[in-house]
């Protein structure tokens, strides 16, 4: 293959990574922005979504599309429920103290990971894609499913944006994000908003995982990379900025796809992580964020 | 913290060291080995505690300081054939130097950003160990041969693979670091650190250079953690990349929280407790991480001060 088509392939792969990353990072960013806490267990909610998608789709016989559709509904709902319970039982009692929350979510990370290992096992297992149409380009054929993942992610991002900016729920969320105490004084049930945001954040990660699982298999350790990449995206994109998150996800996804096609993936990760750490040190508000209030 | 007579405090700590010394002759073989490991790792926890407990800086990247010591000592022995004392010092120097660089960068941030930055630098360090697998052995690690783990001073040669020598080596390091930490936290410098933890702005207003003090604390903490890593490599003869993984950044946090942050004996108690809990429960289940996870959540929920912290609060106000 010549350089041009090779680059196109790398870019397409990067775009799929970006799409999934944008959804995952958006979940992290919502929780980070509204609740001002870092959810270290976010990657495990992603993994849980993938594992549950496998469980649901193997439990349902018939055409793979039926199983996949069921997984796309059931897995995020279950993950949302788990997140809701975690918020209700643990984080609320910690009064959202940032440091205690980190320690508690690290605890959740270990618990979810171990339970997945115990009940799901150490194997990586595939989920059949709902359809296997290949789009034939002049140089190579490309999976139609992968492109539909990009489309689905774009639609979900637009929906989230509309909910945040155009609805009453979005207004309440933004009010809580802007000033928790004043929002509470105006009768906004802040605790319920927090529980909801935490659950929705986890559900976004779970949806991303269900979408990716027909491409890369479900594995109990698959939550690590999305967690780190989501952190990177949220930091580069700027705290609580939806546009920044999406732009950063595309940037990171594409460069990850292209760099790791031409260089060693470990070296690519070293460079990316180091660059982001430096961004955080020298420009803590992110590349697209506004200066801290 | 009520003031105690220094005699009482030092008596307690020397008592603990004497007790550990005596245990060497009482403990069965298996537990003797476990205790040596616990003491070496308690030093790691003490180094972490210096920064987390006393300065209030939560780092999620201390595995890089531990493994800087581990590889600093391990690689010089393995590739350059250095002697044990030189390799140990090389390990500590690597950790201190790394801590100086990381401190200069990471201390520009605070709070949540500090945790994420330290975590990322540690991740870079971990990935670099994997990337330079030709020298570091990658995730397979390197085994340091018995022959290179012998100290010979004058006519006496100490074989670190001998259980008793190993136990005494770990105890010696532990005792030195325990007494250094005790002296450090009782000193003027230690009180400035606590003042920074309680209210950094006010401390700055009183005329203290808080950034310089924090930097010294990061370097001291890094050097102590590196000493633990270097000792671990030399005493147990193995260096591996899993010691640099994020899990080894979280373990000292767990040990310190369990034992009691900002207490001198807490790190030992926490490490000891956690090691024995996993040792006992691993007889029933392989779900070791589940226990760590549940312990972390229960701790932050119900005992945020840890074992020694609670004892200090209830009964013994003079504990350092």
Whether B311 has a pLDDT exceeding 60, the answer reads yes
Contact (Cβ atoms closer than 8 angstroms) between residue A22 and residue A249: yes
Task: Please tell me which of the candidates A93, A98, A106 has its beta carbon nearest to residue B301.
Answer: A93
Whole-number pLDDT of residue A184: 87
Compare A289 and A252 and report the one with higher pLDDT. Answer: A252
Subunit contact B293:A114, Cβ cutoff 8 A: yes
Q: Which of B122, B74, B123, B134 is nearest to B98 (CA)?
A: B122
Q: How confident is the model at residue B20 (pLDDT cuts 50, 70, 90)?
A: very high
Cβ A111–B109 below 8 Å, yes or no? Answer: no
Residue in chain B lying closest to A101 (CA): B300
Nearest-CA residue of chain B relative to A112? B290
The chain B residue lying nearest A106, using CA atoms, is B293
Q: Band of the pLDDT at A233, cuts 50, 70, 90?
A: confident
Q: What is the mean pLDDT of chain A?
A: 87
Q: Which two tokens stand for residue B243?
A: 């010691």
Identify the residue with better confidence: A264 or B86. Answer: B86
- The pLDDT of residue B124: 93
pLDDT tens for each residue of B162-177 = 888 999 999 999 999 9
Tell me what pLDDT residue B1 has. 47
| pLDDT above 90 as % of chain A | 38
Q: Name every chain A residue with its beta carbon within 8 A of the beta carbon of B305.
A: none
Q: What is the pLDDT of residue A287?
A: 63
Whether the predicted pLDDT of B55 surpasses 90: yes
Interface test with B, best of A94, A277, A278, A280 (most B CBs within 10 A): A277
Over 70: is that where the pLDDT of B2 sits? no
The predicted pLDDT at position A258 comes to 79
Would the CB atoms of B120 and A273 count as touching at under 8 Å? yes
Query: Would you say residue A14 has pLDDT above 90?
Result: no
Tokens of B141: 């690690």
**Phi then psi dihedrals of residue B301, to 5 deg:** -75, -50
Residues B274-280 have a mean pLDDT of 84
Considering only CB atoms, A277 lies closest to which of B111, B120, B253, namely B120
Q: Could you tell me which chain B residue has the CA closest to the CA of A115?
A: B290
Mutate to test the interface with A, among B112, B245, B287 (most CBs of A within 10 A): B112
**Per-residue pLDDT at B15 exceeds 80:** yes
Out of A81-95, B74-88, B296-310, pick the least confident. Answer: B296-310
The pLDDT score that the predictor gives to residue B314 is: 76
- What is the full DSSP assignment across A221-257? TTTHHHHHHHHHHHHHH-TT-HHHHHHHHHHHHHHHH
> pLDDT: is A137 or B82 the higher one?
B82
B102 vs chain A: nearest CA distance in angstroms? 11
Q: In this predicted structure, what is the pLDDT of residue B305?
A: 82
Average pLDDT over residues B253-279: 88
- pLDDT given for residue A288 in this prediction: 61
d(CA B99, CA B104): 8
Q: Considering only alpha carbons, which residue of chain B is nearest residue A282? A: B108
pLDDT computed for residue A255 by the predictor: 82
Name the pLDDT band for A257 (thresholds 50, 70, 90): confident
Which of A136-145, B113-122, B220-229 shows the highest mean pLDDT? B220-229
Q: How far apart are CA B29 and CA B26, in angstroms?
A: 9
Whether chain B has a CB inside 8 Å of the CB on A267: the answer is yes
Task: Give the pLDDT confidence score for residue A126 in this predicted structure.
Answer: 86
Q: Is A231 on the interface with B (CB under 8 A)?
A: yes
Contact A40, B58 (CB under 8 A): no
A266 touching B, CB under 8 A?
Answer: yes
What is the predicted pLDDT for the residue at A280?
Answer: 82
Report yes or no: A133 at the B interface, CB cutoff 8 Å.
Answer: no
How remote is the C-alpha of A19 from its chain's centroid? Answer: 9
In this prediction, residue A197 carries a pLDDT of 93
SS3 B59: coil
Sign of the torsion angle spanned by Cα atoms B63, B67, B68, B69 = positive
Neighbours of A251 (CB within 10 A): 17
Read off the pLDDT of each residue in B217-230 and give the average, rounded to a whole number: 96
- Please list every residue in chain A whose beta carbon sits closer than 8 Å to the beta carbon of residue B138: none
Contact flag A277-B117 (C-beta cutoff 8 Å):
yes
* Confidence (pLDDT) at A293: 41
Mean pLDDT of A97-106: 84
What is the spatial distance between Cα B318 and Cα B301, in angstroms, rounded to a whole number? 25
Give the range among B12-16, B137-141, B157-161, B316-320 with minimum mean pLDDT. B316-320
Contact B120 A90 (CB under 8 A): no
Mean pLDDT of chain B: 89
Position B154 scores a pLDDT of 66
Q: Phi and psi (nearest 5°) for A123? A: -75, 155
CB within 8 Å: B131 and A270: yes
The interface predicted TM-score of the complex, written ipTM, equals 0.81
Chain A residues whose CB is inside 8 A of the B112 CB are 38, 98, 102
Instruction: Using a CB–CB cutoff of 8 Å, tell me whether A279 touches chain B.
Output: no
Is residue B174 within 8 A of residue B43, CB to CB? The reply is yes
Residue of chain B minimizing CA distance to A265: B131
Q: Per residue in A176-214, pLDDT tens?
A: 888 888 888 888 888 899 999 999 999 999 999 999 999
Chain A residues close to B58, C-beta within 8 Å: 99, 102
Helix (H, G, I), strand (E, B) or coil at B311: helix
**Region B119-143: what's the mean pLDDT?**
90
Quote the pLDDT of residue A141.
80
DSSP B166-221: HHHHHHHHHHHHHHHHHHHHHSHHHHHHHHHHH-HHHHHHTT--HHHHHHHHHHHH
Q: Which residues of B touch A274 (CB under 8 A)?
A: 120, 124
């Amino acid at each position: 293959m010549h350089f041009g088509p090779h680059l196109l392939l790398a870019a397409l792969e990067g775009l799929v990574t970006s799409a999934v990353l944008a959804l995952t990072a958006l979940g992290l960013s919502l929780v980070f922005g509204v609740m001002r806490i870092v959810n270290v267990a976010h990657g495990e909610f992603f993994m849980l979504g993938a594992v549950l998608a496998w469980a649901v789709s193997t439990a349902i016989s018939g055409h793979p599309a039926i199983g996949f559709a069921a997984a796309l509904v059931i897995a995020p709902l279950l993950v949302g429920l788990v997140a809701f319970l975690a918020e209700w039982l643990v984080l609320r009692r910690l009064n959202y103290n940032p440091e205690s929350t980190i320690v508690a979510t690290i605890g959740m990370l270990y618990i979810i990971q171990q339970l997945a290992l115990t009940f799901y096992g150490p194997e990586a297992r595939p989920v059949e894609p709902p359809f296997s149409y290949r789009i034939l380009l002049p140089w190579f054929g490309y999976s139609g499913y992968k492109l539909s993942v990009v489309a689905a992610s774009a639609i979900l991002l637009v929906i989230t944006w509309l909910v945040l900016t155009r609805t009453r729920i979005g207004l309440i969320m933004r009010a809580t994000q802007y000033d928790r105490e004043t929002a509470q004084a105006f009768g906004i049930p802040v605790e319920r908003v927090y529980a909801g945001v935490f659950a929705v954040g986890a559900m976004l990660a779970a949806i991303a995982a269900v979408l990716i699982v027909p491409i890369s298999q479900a594995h109990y350790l698959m939550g690590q990379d999305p967690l780190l990449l989501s952190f990177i995206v949220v930091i580069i994109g700027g705290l609580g900025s939806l546009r920044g998150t999406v732009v950063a996800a595309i940037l990171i996804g594409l460069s990850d796809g292209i760099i790791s096609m031409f260089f060693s993936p470990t070296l690519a990760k070293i460079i990316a992580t180091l660059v982001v750490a430096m961004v955080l040190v020298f420009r803590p508000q992110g590349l697209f964020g506004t200066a801290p209030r | 913290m009520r003031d105690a007579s220094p005699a009482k405090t030092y008596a307690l700590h020397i008592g603990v060291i004497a007790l550990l010394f005596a245990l060497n002759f009482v403990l069965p073989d298996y537990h003797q080995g476990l205790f040596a490991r616990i003491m070496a790792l308690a030093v790691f926890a003490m180094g972490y505690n210096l920064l987390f407990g006393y300065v209030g800086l939560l780092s999620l990247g201390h595995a890089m300081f531990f493994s800087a010591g581990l590889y600093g000592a391990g690689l010089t022995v393995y590739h350059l054939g250095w002697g044990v004392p030189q390799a140990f010092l090389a390990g500590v120097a690597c950790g201190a130097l790394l801590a100086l660089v990381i401190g200069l960068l990471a201390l520009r941030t605070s709070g949540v950003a500090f945790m994420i930055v330290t975590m990322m630098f540690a991740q870079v360090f971990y990935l670099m160990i994997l990337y330079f697998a030709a020298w570091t052995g990658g995730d397979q690690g390197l085994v340091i041969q018995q022959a290179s783990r012998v100290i010979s001073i004058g006519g006496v040669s100490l074989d670190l693979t001998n259980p008793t020598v190993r136990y005494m080596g770990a105890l010696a390091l532990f005792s030195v670091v325990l007494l250094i930490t005790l002296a450090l936290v009782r000193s003027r410098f230690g009180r400035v650190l606590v003042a920074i933890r309680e209210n950094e702005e006010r401390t700055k207003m009183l005329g203290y250079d808080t950034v310089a003090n924090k930097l010294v604390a990061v370097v001291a903490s890094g050097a102590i953690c590196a000493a633990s890593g270097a000792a671990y490599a030399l005493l147990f003869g193995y260096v591996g990349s899993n010691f640099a993984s994020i899990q080894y950044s979280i373990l000292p946090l767990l040990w310190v929280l369990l034992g009691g942050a900002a207490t001198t004996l807490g790190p030992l108690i926490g490490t000891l407790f956690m090691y024995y809990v996993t040792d006992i429960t691993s007889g029933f289940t392989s779900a070791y991480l589940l226990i760590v996870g549940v312990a972390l959540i229960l701790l932050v929920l119900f005992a945020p001060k840890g074992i020694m912290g609670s004892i200090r609060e209830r009964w013994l106000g003079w504990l350092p």
